[in-house]
């Protein structure tokens, strides 16, 4: 059985087997005959020669096996190769049914899975130069094939069960896609809420910081405030040294009492974390 998807969504290589079928987009009877009958079963025969494939009437092929007509394509190809005792001629036949095109509609729209069966592949052979004269007898032998009706009925039941399971597989796949999409939406909403909360916290801190700076500036003389503005600094309380000027471009300042300072715009920054060495950093507050 050959299959393919439309639009093309399969990453399976052409010719590879998947789900019990062969991935072969848009395959016709000539390709099916040469690639999947002649190549695997006769491709290694010594001295292989191959004539161009020829189309044959599918109704006659089906009638030879006493089967009712069905739509499709049929073809044959003549081979010659060396075997024990000399050269052999062989006609290889096959038919590819028109198959079916199954639609599936889901979250990603409607797509189609096409199936085409390869049926009645067989060969009639004889010593080189004698095949044409013996074809009537060989065709009679091939046409005497009878398929067990009980086996056919069981095959039909198995195929129906496989189709039901395949439909369940597709349904489970869509359910998983929908669940994953809902989970993605939930995670995205949570992330948006967290980011919005962080942004609001930053804005509130910026407003408090601006108010604090304004209040600190109002408590100093105009000359002091102007000097700090020109130098881009603000006066901070130093728990070790009284007061010191720190850069206005960073909000949070820390001192270790040994003349070392660290600054950051991150409200969660804490230089004591992982500092080691017995150093204790103290956060500095604006001078009032």
Asked whether residue 136 falls in the same domain as residue 227, the answer is no
Residue 75 falls within a domain, yes or no? yes
237: confidence class by pLDDT, cuts 50, 70, 90: confident
Residue 202 falls within a domain, yes or no? no
Asked whether residue 133 falls in the same domain as residue 36, the answer is yes
Beta strands at 49-50 and 54-56: parallel, antiparallel or unpaired:
unpaired
Domain-terminating residue out of 86, 121, 146: 146
Domain-terminating residue out of 146, 173, 196: 146
Which of 14-18, 59-63, 221-225, 260-264 shows the lowest mean pLDDT across its residues?
A: 221-225
Structural domain boundaries enclosing 232:
223-286
pLDDT at 222 over 80: no
Quote the pLDDT of residue 15.
86
pLDDT at 206 over 70: no
Residue 153 falls within a domain, yes or no? no
Asked whether residue 127 falls in the same domain as residue 235, the answer is no
Quote the pLDDT of residue 186.
79
Within 107-221, strands assigned E span 109-116, 118-127
Quote the pLDDT of residue 58.
94
Intra-chain end-to-end CA distance of the chain, in Å: 86
Please compute the mean of the pLDDT values over residues 153-157 and round it to a whole number: 90
pLDDT at 82 over 60: yes
Q: Count how many domains the chain has.
A: 2
**Nearest CA-CA partner of 77 in 52, 107, 103, 105:** 52
Asked whether residue 136 falls in the same domain as residue 13, the answer is yes
CA–CA separation, 169 and 132 (whole Å): 50
Percent helix, percent strand, percent coil in the chain, to nearest 5:
40, 30, 30
Asked whether residue 123 falls in the same domain as residue 228, the answer is no
Q: What is the pTM of this model?
A: 0.54
**Model confidence pLDDT, tens digit, residues 55-69:** 999 999 999 888 899
pLDDT at 235 over 80: no
DSSP assignment, residue 196? H
């Amino acid at each position: 059985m050959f299959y393919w998807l439309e639009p093309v969504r399969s990453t399976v290589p052409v010719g590879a087997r998947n789900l019990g079928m062969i991935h072969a987009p848009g395959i016709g009877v000539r390709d099916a005959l040469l690639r999947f009958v002649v190549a695997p079963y006769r491709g290694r025969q010594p001295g292989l020669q191959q004539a161009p494939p020829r189309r044959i009437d599918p109704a006659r092929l089906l009638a030879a096996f006493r089967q009712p007509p069905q739509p499709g394509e049929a073809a044959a190809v003549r081979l010659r190769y060396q075997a024990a005792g000399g050269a052999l001629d062989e006609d290889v036949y096959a038919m590819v049914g028109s198959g079916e095109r199954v639609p599936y509609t889901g979250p990603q729209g409607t797509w189609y899975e096409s199936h085409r069966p390869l049926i009645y592949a067989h060969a009639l052979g004889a010593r080189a130069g004698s095949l044409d004269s013996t074809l009537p007898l060989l065709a009679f032998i091939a046409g005497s094939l009878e398929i067990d009706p009980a086996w056919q009925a069981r095959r039909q039941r198995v195929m129906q069960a496989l189709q039901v399971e395949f439909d369940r597989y597709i349904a489970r796949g869509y359910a998983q896609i929908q669940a994953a999409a809902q989970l993605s939406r939930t995670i995205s909403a949570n992330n948006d809420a967290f980011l919005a909360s962080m942004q609001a916290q930053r804005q509130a801190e910026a407003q408090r910081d601006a108010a604090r700076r304004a209040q600190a500036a109002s408590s100093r003389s105009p000359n002091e405030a102007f000097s700090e503005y020109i130098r881009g600094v603000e006066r901070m309380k130093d728990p070790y040294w009284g007061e010191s000027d720190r850069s206005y471009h960073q909000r949070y300042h820390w001192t270790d009492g040994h003349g070392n300072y660290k600054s950051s715009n991150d409200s969660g920054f804490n230089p004591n974390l992982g500092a080691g060495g017995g150093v204790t950093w103290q956060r500095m507050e604006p001078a009032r």
